[in-house]
């Protein structure tokens, strides 16, 4: 390991645990409905030193143990958000939530870990990664990173290797949109897919046809449509479907697993379903805004209201969200992210008079768990077990940290939430914990409230109060070769054998 050569910070070989700044209490959560992705039972959960020690009925409480009465509560693994953008420079702005404010908001909303997207610095992956690790020094909960790849050359290829082998990165995002800034060409994507496969890293795509989006934007401006509604018109679902299909087929050609981030449309969904039906390993991640909302507020005559909803791919007309919900409940989509990319109203105002300059992104890190419970569990579309799967377990499995994360079982990290299914509350930017001055769910009244959040055995959210400190969060290295890579080599060798056989036949 050349970590010590100072050109990168090695996280895998060093002990990355910053758990040492406090001693978590011994906790006993009594009598709750303990929900895992594969079972639901009434049980007690005993926690020591930040780790779940046992999950059983009738665990005896000793004197020094703090007991939480959880009867009537759902006791579930803390949420893991696979898709966030904290302190990210983007479209001439920097997202308003940093690694402290964004994570504090997450904890108040029942999310105990997230995976953020580190961007390269002037195309340099290691530099960019280092910068993000520094930004995260104020973290107050567990986090990991994906790394974006925005161009291709030998250095990028080598840096990917360093990041996987030494830095706890096991996924790389390729933008097929944002022409002129983050977008990669097909050639670059293809090289990236090959490299991901070689490293056992998961390739992720932002799937929109960036060339066509640029064309669509010019069209809208020529038509005199300059407000936020032009955003949706300029990048219709067909462009998301096209790019999703292209990425899937290229990943199929390379025979490497693919993860499609922020699936927003039926067109993209259909491509994912088709690929999965043919046996291809494709993961589809809808985000909470795409599941819960339609595009109606993008047409609000008040710019400040409409601009809140500008994100890419766009929030689609009614119907797409219902299709995504149904796909999630039937397992056709696997996990839910937020794409939390918060810009406040003054930042959004940069695009007054030209929707192309509205920084893209919406809030969600604090709201995901509650909104999803309401639209999926309260409506009967999903069981609590299914909810745990899509908010926590699947993410831990896909990013190869299960069952340390994503389960309430002995030996797992004590990241736990207590949800009271009967409490109602109303979302407002006046009371939320994110730094953003607006909320795309403003005024939504929800039933089911996460009243307690436990992060590594420590109660960080209780009675409407946060108890967090900057620097207490811990970086979680994500190892390569998740289950998605099992058997890939067998498919390769069968494929080569079939080519040889058909060549032989044709001789
Ligand atoms: O609008 C969005 N999604 N902003 C964040 C960047 C991205 O594409 O994920
Ligand atoms: Zn190293
Ligand atoms: Zn994206
Ligand atoms: Zn994103």
pLDDT for res 17: 36
Task: Give strand pairing partners of 204.
Answer: 173, 259
CA 51 from chain centre, in angstroms, equals 24
Position 62 scores a pLDDT of 84
- Give the pLDDT of residue 11: 52
What is the number of the ligand 1 atom nearest to the C-alpha of 117? 9
H/E stretch holding 31 reads: strand 27-35
Domain count, the chain: 1
**204 in contact with ligand 1, CB cutoff 6 A:** no
Helix axes 266-277 and 320-329, enclosed angle (nearest 10): 30
Q: From ligand 3's centre to the CA of 54, what distance in Å?
A: 39
418 C-alpha to center of ligand 4: Å?
Answer: 28
Residue 427 tokens, joined: 């979302």
- Give tens-digit pLDDT for 124-175: 999 999 999 999 999 999 999 999 999 999 999 999 999 999 999 999 999 9
Determine the structural domain holding residue 29 and report its residue range: 1-507
Q: Please tell me the predicted confidence (pLDDT) of residue 198.
A: 98
The predicted pLDDT at position 245 comes to 98
CB 353 within 8 A of CB 230: no
Q: Residue written as tokens 């620097």?
A: 471
Ligand 1 atom 5: residue of nearest CA:
361
DSSP string, 421-482: EEEEEE--TTT-SSS-S--TTTT-EEEEEEEEEEETTEEEEETTEE---TT---B----S--
Q: What's residue 171's pLDDT? A: 99
Q: Is the CB of 32 inside a 6 Å radius of any atom of ligand 1?
A: no
- State the distance from the centre of ligand 4 to the C-alpha of 454, rounded, in angstroms: 26
ipTM above 0.90, yes or no: yes
Cα-flanking dihedrals φ and ψ of residue 375, to 5°?
Answer: -80, -20
Q: Which residue stretches of the chain have pLDDT < 50?
A: 1-10, 13-21, 23
Give the ligand with the smallest distance to the CA of 309: 1
Whichever domain contains 3, its CATH number is 3.20.20.140
CA angle, residues 367, 372, 374, in degrees to nearest 5:
100
What's the pTM? Answer: 0.95
């Amino acid at each position: 390991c050349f970590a010590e050569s100072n050109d990168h910070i090695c996280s895998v070989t060093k002990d990355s645990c910053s758990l040492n700044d406090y001693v978590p209490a011994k906790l006993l959560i009594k009598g709750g409905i303990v929900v895992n992705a594969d079972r639901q039972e009434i049980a007690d959960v005993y926690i020591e030193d930040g780790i779940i020690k046992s999950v059983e009925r009738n665990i005896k409480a000793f004197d020094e143990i703090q007991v939480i009465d959880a009867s009537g509560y759902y006791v579930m693994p803390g949420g893991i958000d696979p898709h966030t953008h904290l302190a990210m420079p983007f479209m001439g702005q920097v997202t308003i939530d940093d690694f402290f404010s964004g994570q504090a908001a997450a904890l108040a909303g029942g999310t105990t870990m997230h995976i953020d997207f580190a961007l390269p610095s002037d195309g340099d992956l290691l530099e960019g990664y280092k910068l993000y690790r520094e930004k995260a020094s104020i973290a107050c909960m567990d986090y990991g990173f994906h790394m974006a790849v925005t161009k291709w050359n030998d250095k990028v290829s080598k840096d990917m290797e360093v990041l996987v082998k030494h830095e706890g990165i096991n996924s790389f995002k390729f933008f097929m949109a944002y022409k002129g800034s983050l977008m990669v060409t097909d050639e670059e994507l293809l090289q990236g897919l090959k490299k991901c496969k070689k490293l056992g890293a998961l390739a992720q795509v932002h799937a929109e046809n960036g060339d066509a989006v640029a064309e669509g934007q010019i069209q809208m401006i020529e038509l005199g449509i300059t407000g936020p509604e032009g955003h949706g018109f300029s990048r219709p679902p067909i462009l998301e479907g096209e790019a999703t299909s292209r990425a899937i087929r290229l990943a199929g050609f390379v025979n490497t697993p693919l993860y499609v981030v922020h699936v927003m449309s039926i067109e993209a969904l259909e491509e994912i379903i088709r690929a999965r039906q043919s046996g291809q390993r494709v993961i589809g991640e809808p985000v909470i805004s795409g599941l819960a909302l339609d595009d109606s507020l993008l047409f609000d005559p008040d710019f400040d209201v409409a601009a809140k909803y500008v994100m890419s791919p766009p929030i689609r007309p009614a119907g797409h969200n219902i299709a995504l919900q149904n796909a999630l409940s039937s397992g056709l989509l696997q996990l839910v992210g937020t794409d939390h990319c918060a810009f406040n109203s003054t930042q959004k105002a940069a695009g007054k008079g030209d929707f192309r300059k509205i920084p893209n992104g919406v809030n969600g890190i604090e709201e995901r768990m509650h909104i999803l419970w309401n639209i999926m569990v309260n409506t009967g579309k999903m069981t609590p077990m299914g909810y745990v799967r899509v908010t926590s377990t699947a993410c831990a499995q896909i990013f190869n940290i299960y069952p340390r994360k994503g389960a309430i079982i002995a030996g797992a990290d004590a990241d736990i939430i207590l949800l009271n299914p009967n409490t109602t509350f109303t979302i407002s930017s006046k009371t939320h914990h994110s730094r953003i001055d607006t909320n795309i769910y403003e005024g939504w009244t929800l039933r089911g409230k996460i009243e307690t959040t436990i992060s590594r055995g420590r109660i960080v959210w209780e009675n409407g109060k946060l108890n967090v400190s900057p620097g207490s969060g811990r970086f979680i290295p994500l190892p390569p070769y998740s289950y998605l890579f099992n058997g890939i080599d067998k498919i390769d060798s069968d494929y080569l054998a079939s080519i040889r056989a058909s060549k032989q036949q044709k001789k």
